[in-house]
Amino acid sequence: MKRVQAGLKLVFARLGMYLAILGPGLITASADNDAPGIATYSMAGSTYGYRFLWLLLVITVGEVVVQETAGRMGAVTGKGTADLIRERFGVKVTAFAMLCLLLANLGTTVAQFAGVAAATELFGLSRYITVPLAAALVGFVVLRGSYEHVEKVLLVLCLSALSYVISAFMIKPPWGEVLRQAVVPSIQFDTNFILAVLATIGTTITPWGIIYMQASVADKGVDLQKYRLTRMDVTVGAVWGNVVSAFIIICTAATLYVVGISVETAEQAAMALEPLAGVGARYLFAIGLLGASLLAASVLPLSTSYAVCEAFGWERGLNQRPRDAAVFYGLYIGIIVLSVLTVLIPGIPLFPLMWLSQSMNAILLPVLLVLVIKLVNDRRIMGEWVNSRFQNIFSWALAIIILLITVVLFISPLLGMQAPG
């Protein structure tokens, strides 16, 4: 009996340690399933059925490698990505990266508040009420809380993704076919399919995700003794984030694809689900979109504030008081306010802003990956925690693939290729 009690105490002690360190990995991966991400997965499922499920397995491995690298650098150095880039590569490289990041994150934050508007309008609520309320909520949580408090709120928002899992089981897809497509690669050699693959990869591995991951590990004070648990957090987060992505694809494939309905946005998917799967599926999809948009609308401006303040040596961090880190909090609130005002302009075409955001992300991501690989292999910075040979081979292969994706995305309009939808 005493052995059983001792064993249970050990289990609960380890579980407590993991729950204490849980956060950066799960939040970063969950925030990747933002409004544009949900739109991408909805488009993939409604247009190509279950053919993209196997790709998510591959993407999960890549995401774990990238985020683990960022988390390891945060734990070893106690500094953010932009901080290390400035120290190692100088002001010019840092300024270029920060300009791209600022433009990209601003456009993507606008997309998150557009997601809030779309989700609440599915419940019959006006965006002119709900979007300002959402912005006030996001701003209040960050301005009034410590890192620990903010992290708990963000972890609660991660739970909204369960709505997609519930929706899938309500719809009752052919699980045998789902499992088969998840493990058997299926590729179509046409331009729209290839562009959809590129969009799926690009919405999962992002510059802001790398920067937020490293900054949050450093801000949380994770040291090397606790890093093993943080590595577990990164892995669990990546797996969970892509499981949610898979369920979004399953929902739209099992209902829309089978009847020949293709959608381009998450709100279109929610509305199309109602006559096929019932009003419950529509509202669950809307809840997932709302939670994901709120989570990403919190994380994206934080990523920007961390990066800019790191780059120029200004005070930053959620444990700092607003008056002691005025630029950090001012930039955070400024991005939110500007994004909200943009979304509330009647009839404003959001597509050009989204295109600019996607373009800046596409330019920055391969550059950032190369800089991160160089940093993590610098023994003056990382000591014995540099990459292994296997990690370097995989990291460089991933960076080359991302670079090719960027080139294809930019030359595709010149070749007459159009994104799916």
Q: Please list, residue by residue across 34-72, b when 16 or more beta carbons sit within 10 angstroms of its beta carbon and e when fewer do.
A: bbbbbbbbbbbbbbbbbbbbbbbeebbebbbbbbbbbbb
pTM for the full predicted model: 0.84
Q: Is residue 12 part of a domain?
A: no
Give domain status of residue 354, yes or no.
yes
- How much is the pLDDT for 15? 47
Residue at 7 is within a domain: no
- In angstroms, the Cα distances linking 51 to 36, 254, 272, 346, 417 are 20, 12, 20, 38, 21
Provide the CB-side half-sphere exposure for 44 (13 A, CA): 31
Residue-range definition of the domain harbouring residue 150: 29-411
In a domain, 231, yes or no: yes
Q: Is the pLDDT of residue 46 over 50?
A: yes
Question: Are 120 and 130 contacting, i.e. CB atoms less than 8 angstroms apart?
Answer: yes
The number of domains in the chain is 1
Tokens 């001792």 sit at which residue?
6
The answer to whether position 381 is within a domain reads yes
Does pLDDT of 13 surpass 50?
Answer: no
Give a yes or no: residue 10 inside a domain.
Answer: no
**Token code pair at residue 410:** 């930019």
Which one is predicted more confidently, 215 or 34?
215
**What is the rounded CA–CA span in Å between residue 306 and residue 225?**
24
**Residue 417: inside a domain, yes or no?**
no
Provide the pLDDT confidence category of residue 358 given band limits of 50, 70 and 90: low
Tokens 């779309």, residue located: 118
Range with top average pLDDT, 190-194, 308-312, 402-406: 308-312
Distance CA 315, CA 330 (A): 12
Encoded amino acid at 147, one letter? Y
By C-alpha distance, which of 275, 272, 312 is closest to 102? 312
- Tell me the helix, strand and coil percentages in the chain, rounded to 5: 80, 0, 20
Q: Are 306 and 215 in contact (CB under 8 A)?
A: yes
CATH (domain of 199)? 1.20.1740.10
Q: Does the pLDDT at position 325 exceed 80?
A: yes
Is 129 domain-assigned?
yes
Q: Looking at residue 359, what is its pLDDT?
A: 65
Give yes or no for residue 11 having a pLDDT over 50.
no
